[in-house]
Structure 1
């Protein structure tokens, strides 16, 4: 059920009769006068990989600790699989947490680290041995059972920590920046391994991360957090393509924001006057707004077209000068200075090995976007 899967109408969050597996109801956590989590409500469904995404200090890790029972809510209600968690200590909850540091016991072997929770619970030795073997196979760590943590790479430690978190069969696994200690290439590889493991077990994952790419890759849905609140919930596609606020548009990926105001407001289209583009912007549908209202038009860099000649097929066009060009392998990124002084970022896929030398520094160019490429956001 990851974000890369096709989205269909059988998604549980789209079914009004579906019962959420995790229900967070008006939860607030205060430290003195400061609300680290501020009146948060959220439904998560069984089998989801749900990502809480936000910058440092936004409250995402505090919310995770509230779910685990390591912190107690100042107000509100947390229900997991129909059970109110008020007063339930961490060890009695059907949850487990995987920490960013992995928190492996350095003096224990891999198999003893994984088995630790089962031994504490008094599970018979034969059953422990079977479950540890199964977990080692699941995380592709066969042959590493007798090694100590200092003999493992970062990715291997991550897998051991995951196995230890999953072996007790939690109903809800909480992961706090689970891939933060890995390098970029290993992190990308491990993201897909996590999805495979989650889908094979059917455990509900709640992942905290500040990494937008990680959230987009892993999640069935994302909750974007800011200042203790969840400001938007949606699939990766919905969050990226249809941001509901300036914060979400600016936080997720790269975006160009053109300031302006509504000059014509019709049912089937809107005209926005934008001094930053030096032209009127046409929006091919109605919006919630009134004439004279300040708005911002958001356009992703990959949705902008650039050319030395006029873009006759587009209604929304302007002109500028290429200031900078960055070749980044799969894409080339252009920074263009408009006549208003506004700087615009444009990215183009490099589909062939040959570098396109038709566009270079100081070129006067035309740029534009198709009617459906832009999103209007209240300013």
Structure 2
């Protein structure tokens, strides 16, 4: 089941009666005079894969370390499954953490790496054997149980680390850049494996990543972080289609942003005058603004149409010259230079091997988009 296609019954964040499994309440973390995490509040529900997404130094890993108990909060409260975690040591929490480096023991086999935590906890040998065997099967490493880490691929090492983190049956598993060491193709394959394993076990995941595609693929919801704060929380669809502000629009995927001023402000639409386009831009939704207010309009490249011919059916049309062309296989991306000097990115799908879309450098073109394609975002 895709997280994004979940039914309302499987979206507890939309149910006012649902009790969050993880509650972060006004948490701040300071290192001397530096504030790494600033007044963050967050609810995560049982069975979610929740991604904390942001660039380097935004505070996401620090927040993860506070959840796991490796860092103390300066102020605020962390509650897991109804229990306040203040003063609770990492080993006493019903949580586990999978590190980016995997931290496998090089001298131990796959089987012994996975069993290590259970043996330290003093579990009976028979129970250890059963749980390790189940976990090895779950991550599909039955043929590699007696190999050591250096005899495994990066993807196999990642699965050993995951199995070792899950074999102790934590209620909450935190993953710090779990796929960062894998190449692109393997990372994409492993994302789906990770989702399948999580669904089979029902463990709540909190994943830290800087990779937007990874967050969009894995998560039930995303919290976008910058400067120690979560600036928007939502499903991948909400974050991508309805960014709360300019930072989120710019950070998630590729986007064209047009500066302008509101010249018409109605309940169900606004018109924005922009020097960058030398024309008015129609946006088919209302905003909480006023005439004359400065705003920014975000339009995704794939929501734009490009043509050598006029686009009479398009609500918004601008003219320019193709400055750059990038062939990406499944699509081509065009950079179109406008008269104002601004460049616009347009993505066009390559549906046929040798399509009629024969646009190239220096072509004069029209770029158009529907009123529903643009979103007015705050600065």
TM over 0.5: yes
Counterparts of residues 153-192 of structure 1 (less than 5 Å): 153-192=153-192
In structure 1, the residue matched to 2:275 is 275
> Could you say if the C-alpha distance between residues 7 and 353 of structure 1 is closer, same or farther in structure 2, counting changes exceeding 3 Å?
farther
Partner of 1:98: 98
Q: Secondary structure at the match of 1:100?
A: coil
- Residue 221 of structure 2 is matched in structure 1 by 221
The DSSP-based 3-state class of the residue aligned with 2:272 is strand
In structure 2, stretches of 5+ residues that fail to align are none
Distance in structure 1 (CA, Å) of the matches to 2:10 and 2:190 = 27
Residue 258 of structure 1 and its aligned partner are, at CA, apart by 0.5
CA contact (8 A) 1:2 1:219 kept: no
SS of 2:337's equivalent in the other structure is strand
Q: Residue 143 of structure 2 aligns to a residue in which SS?
A: coil
> C-alpha deviations, 1:171-200, integer Å up to 9, x for none?
000000000000000000000000000000
Indicate conservation of the 8 Å contact 1:268/1:284, yes or no. yes
Q: In structure 1, what is the equivalent of residue 345 of structure 2?
A: 345
- Cα offset, 1:314, TM superposition: 1.0
The Cα shift of 1:357 comes to 5.2
TM-score (normalised: structure 1): 0.98
Are residue 83 (structure 1) and residue 83 (structure 2) matched?
A: yes
Cα shift at 1:10 = 4.4
Distance change in 2, residues 1:277/1:9 (3 Å): farther
| 1:256-267 correspondence to structure 2 within 5 Å | 256-267=256-267
SS in 1 for 2:112: helix
Taking a change above 3 Å as real, the CA distance of residues 6 and 313 of structure 1, as seen in their structure-2 partners, is farther
Contact 1:2–1:218 (8 Å) recurs in 2:
no
Kindly provide the CA deviation profile for residues 276-301 of structure 1, in whole angstroms up to 9, marking residues without a partner as x.
Answer: 01100112232110011000110000
Contact 1:261 1:292 in 2 (8 A): yes
Displacement after TM superposition at 1:5 (Å): 2.7
SS in 2 for 1:137: helix
1:311-340 C-alpha deviation (Å, 9 max, x unpaired): 111121110001111111011000000011
Match of 1:109 in 2: 109
> Where does residue 203 of structure 1 map in the other structure?
203
For 1:90 and 1:107, locate their aligned partners in 2 and report how far apart those are by CA, in whole Å: 25
2:39–2:229 Cα contact (<8 Å) kept: yes
**Equivalent residues in 2 for 1:311-326 (5 A)?**
311-326=311-326
Q: 1:7 to 1:317 in 2, by over 3 A?
A: farther
Q: What SS is found at the alignment partner of 2:43? A: strand
Paired residue for 1:40? Answer: 40
CA displacement at 1:2 relative to structure 2 = 4.7
Matched residue SS, 2:150:
helix
Alignment-derived partner of residue 121 in structure 1? 121
Structure 2 CA distance for aligned equivalents of residues 67 and 267 of structure 1 = 43
SS of match in other structure, 2:377: strand
Distance in 1 (alpha carbons) for counterparts of 2:112 and 2:245: 48
Flag structure 1 segments of 5+ consecutive residues without an equivalent.
none
Measure, in 2, the Cα distance between the counterparts of 1:119 and 1:151.
24
Three-state SS of the structure 1 residue aligned to 2:224 is: strand
1:149 counterpart residue number: 149
- Alignment partner of 2:142: what SS? coil
1:252/1:7 CA distance change after superposition, 3 Å: farther
Q: Secondary structure at the match of 1:332?
A: strand
Conservation of the 8 A alpha-carbon contact between 2:285 and 2:372: no
SS in 2 for 1:225: strand
Give the Cα separation in 2 of the matches to 1:252 and 1:81.
Answer: 31
Secondary structure at the counterpart of residue 336 of structure 1: strand
1:294 maps to: 294
**Cα distance in 2 for residues equivalent to 1:378 and 1:188:** 33
Q: Secondary structure at the match of 1:143?
A: helix
- The number of residues matched between the two structures is 379
Instruction: Measure the CA separation in 1 of the matches of 2:294 and 2:50.
Output: 34
Q: Structure 2: how far apart are the matches of 1:359 and 1:9?
A: 47
Structure 2 length normalisation: TM-score?
0.98
What is the alpha-carbon distance in structure 2 between the residues aligned to residue 159 and residue 275 of structure 1?
Answer: 53
Match of 2:16 in 1: 16
Secondary structure class of the residue paired with 1:186: helix
Report the counterpart of residue 71 of structure 1 in structure 2: 71
Report the CA distance between 1:266 and its aligned residue.
1.5
Deviations 1:350-372 (A, max 9, x none): 11111545311111111110110
For the aligned residue pairs, the C-alpha RMSD in angstroms reads 1.0
Alpha-carbon separation, structure 2, partners of 1:139 and 1:378: 44
